[in-house]
Structure 1
Amino acid sequence: MKTIFVALMLGAVAFGQQPTAPQSQAPGQPAASQAQPQQPGQAQPQQKKEIKDPAEYNAYLGAVQQQDVNAKISGLEAFLTQYPNSVMKQDALELLMGSYQQAGNQQKMMDTAQKLLTADPNNIRALALLSYTLRTSIQGGAPNAQQLIPQLRQYGEKGLQALPNFNKPEGTSDADFEKLKNQMSGIFNAAIGLAALQTKDYPAATKGLRAAVDQNPTDFSLVYPLALAYLQSTPPDSINGIWYAGRAAVVAPTPQYQQQIEKYAKNQYTRYHGSDEGWTDVFAQAKASPTPPANFAIKPAPTPAEQAAALVNGKTPDDIKKLSFAEWELVLSAGAQPDQDKVWTLIKGVPLQMEGQVIKVSPTEIQIAASQDDIEQKRADIILTMNTTIPARLMPKEGATLDFEGTPVSYTPSPFVMTLEKGTLLTKAAPTPARRPPARRRPTHQ
């Protein structure tokens, strides 16, 4: 199933900050405070910034105090042009970036974010803004999406590295600051996870997207990629993948998406479990909770060897003789050796009458597909060595259905082929033993 993405409007985090008025310092006046030494593992305390030039001070205040967003943009652009080395350059760029965001000018917003990173490579707001915007652009089908993926991962990784040193904005409570950091962590992890998914780096994809979904459990643009990352891993993490595919169906933005993704999740469940029994309960749990319950598990389908064992264990010789050719094939190709022996001992050297489809024919040998799966794949699973040369008038055509008799003498488990000798063509059904039609398939398995 193709990935379904939705583009979201930027709004999870308000990236614009309230302007901080700089201090105006008279020429020759000493700074009011000195920076304190930074302790290991701590963010650098914010320092009061001072503009010494009154004209520069007035230009900055005149720009940031504008109430009209377009007037603020004009004022900040003029300030940055006139004072490119101002102590308030980073603050002005942050405010300009937020103003372009508010005005809906995405390209100018991103251009300003790039300028801000040039001035401050670890600027959290710029990194978060670019991470979010690039991710939604890629998921929205941007024409240059493949070129954007490396940048997206770079911004996400850089943001996570810089986040521990992010200073609390002035006037922000501890609770609000913690919430802001968690939101930004979600943005950065989403960027890393989505970029990793696009490049098939599934360990990084599941790690990043799971962290992002933990922060945003109802965001379809994160929940569905997380399901894909689990299911496409090698080997697949089917338990988590099925759960989050179900969750994606729950939070999908339209009824059409909900139906499509629920069908996909159910198919994944059926493939893993062996049937759709129990799916209704699993989907009901996914509707009720954003995360799997403790000890959540889905019983996997029986392995081919387990299916083979179930076909012969506790069965009488007559029961085993009555199995279809496809069931014999499953036991002889995937069963444990004792189970293979139970079947082979009963049919080796015993004339069998069967029906199959001719794959290849010569006067002395016919290659035949006798199980439905092999008929569909046009793959011979029986080699019949004829007792006598086939007359030209009786030569079967390739693709024709054939009634025949032969005596099993050997088999190869993988790829499965049974060799029969003393082959004869049957022109009518014999009374005994009964022919074995190919109608049954081999039992399904992963």
Structure 2
Amino acid sequence: MKRAAMTTVVVVGLAACSFAQSNPPAPQNTQAGQPAGQAAAAPAPTGKRPPQAKTQPEFDAYKAAAALTDPAAQEKAADDFAAKFADSELRAVLYKSAMHGYQQANNADKMMDMSRKVLNYDADDPEALLGVAQVLAERTRDTDLDKDQRLAEAKKNAQRALSTVETDIPTAGQPPDRIEAYKGFLRSEAYAILGTLEYNAKAWPDAEGDLRKSIDAFPQQVDPIAVLRLSIALDNQKRYPEALKYASQAVELTKEGTNAGAAARAEKDRLTKLNSGTEPTPSSAPPKN
């Protein structure tokens, strides 16, 4: 059995460090989503302009839908809102809320459905691009008749997100450090997806490169699955001492008794034997490239 099968399929919350909320960031001094023209003009914001309602009824309907927390209710409210306000800029925002809700509920298929609906209204939204790519990368099987198309779409979306993360995020009114943290998180996710595709294809050097980029892009919240896969990629290149270093880190980042934890501990034990019992000093953060 391939070691990849020992790891859990993890759909990482794309909103874990996001400043994006159920309400879009407020443009200038205007409340998020508030109809244009109800606040004094201010200098043009940097980054993408946040979406706005065009009328007060649209804004009121948006607020009511945005207040929901159950993902199924969020989806229905987004559908109803999109049908009633067919030209609203806020349709994608509500579908993104449903996307986050399904992600938190570990419903990957519905998360991907909502991501696709976001992309219907904003084809460059990096979170939605990664939402689709992540599910395709993790859940495509060798027996799928459309395997090649699914994997190609995952790769294309992840690569696209690396570009649109620089252009498709509203930044007005947000602290620069928070914006950079959010962008770093999305870059980390994109590289993790690319690394996963290469890992599953046993393209070990390519997987190593992108998994390292994923770890380096967001070191304040390292993905244990990326660390474990990096260890296995190095293992398959017979670089056992370095592989053991990352296996040890994966053990530190996972809980015993979980699938990921069991896989990390098995990999560490294997590499420890290959290294004649000599274990490098554990590191709480991955070394830089």
Same fold by TM (over 0.5)? yes
Q: Tell me the equivalent position of 1:262.
A: 268
CA drift of 1:208 comes to: 0.9
Greater helix share, structure number: 2
Q: In terms of Rg, which structure is larger?
A: 1
Alignment-derived partner of residue 44 in structure 1: 47
- Counterpart residue number, 2:27: none
Counterpart for residue 124 of structure 2? 122
- 2:235 maps to 231
In the alignment, residue 269 of structure 2 is paired with which amino acid?
Answer: K
Selected match of 1:291 from 264, 279, 286: 286
The 1:175–1:195 alpha-carbon spacing in structure 2 relative to 1, beyond 3 Å, is: same
How much has 1:50 moved relative to structure 2? 4.1
Contact 1:134–1:152 under 8 Å retained in 2: yes
Q: Which residue of 2 aligns with 1:222?
A: 226
The runs of 5 or more residues in structure 2 that have no matched partner are 25-31
Q: CA 1:197–1:293 in 2, change beyond 3 Å: closer, same or farther?
A: closer
* TM-score, with length taken from structure 1: 0.51
Read off the aligned partner of 1:24 and give its amino acid letter: P
Which runs of 5 or more residues in structure 1 are unaligned? 270-275, 295-446
SS at match of 1:164: coil
The CA distance in 2 between the partners of 1:188 and 1:59, in whole Å, is: 34
- What is the letter of the counterpart of residue 235 of structure 2? L
Distance 1:264 1:77, change over 3 A: same
The residue identity in structure 2 corresponding to 1:17 is Q
1:8-87 matched pairs, under 5 angstroms = 8=10, 10-11=12-13, 13-14=15-16, 17-20=21-24, 21-24=32-35, 44-46=47-49, 49-52=52-55, 54-66=56-68, 70-87=72-89
Q: Distance in 2 between matches of 1:265 and 1:51?
A: 60
Q: What's 2:162 paired with? A: 160
Offset, 1:163: 1.6
Aligned positions of 1:276-355 closer than 5 A? 276=276, 279-280=277-278, 283-285=279-281, 287-291=282-286
Percent of aligned positions that are identical: 20
Shift of 1:94: 2.1
Residue by residue, what CA displacement relative to the aligned partner does 1:106-148 show, whole Å, maximum 9, x if unpaired? 333211211222322210221232344444446xx79749554
Paired with 1:113 and 1:174, the residues of 2 have a C-alpha distance of: 26
User: What is the Cα deviation at residue 284 of structure 1?
Assistant: 4.5
Q: Quick check: which one's strand share is greater?
A: 1
State the Cα deviation string for residues 355-399 of structure 1 (Å, max 9, x = none): xxxxxxxxxxxxxxxxxxxxxxxxxxxxxxxxxxxxxxxxxxxxx
> How far off is 1:293 after superposition?
9.9
1:2 and 2:13 matched: no
Alpha-carbon distance between aligned partners in 1 of 2:71 and 2:283, rounded to the nearest angstrom: 43
Q: 1 CA distance for matches of 2:99 and 2:284?
A: 37
TM-aligned CA distance change 1:172 to 1:132, over 3 Å: farther
* Alignment CA distance shift 1:67-1:226 (3 Å): closer
Corresponding residue pairs, total: 270
In structure 2, the partner of 1:386 is none
Tell me the distance in 2 between the aligned counterparts of 1:243 and 1:104: 31
- The within-5 A match list for 1:79-98 is 79-98=81-100
SS at match of 2:166: helix
AA of the residue aligned to 2:8: V
Partners of 1:242 and 1:268 within 8 A in 2: no
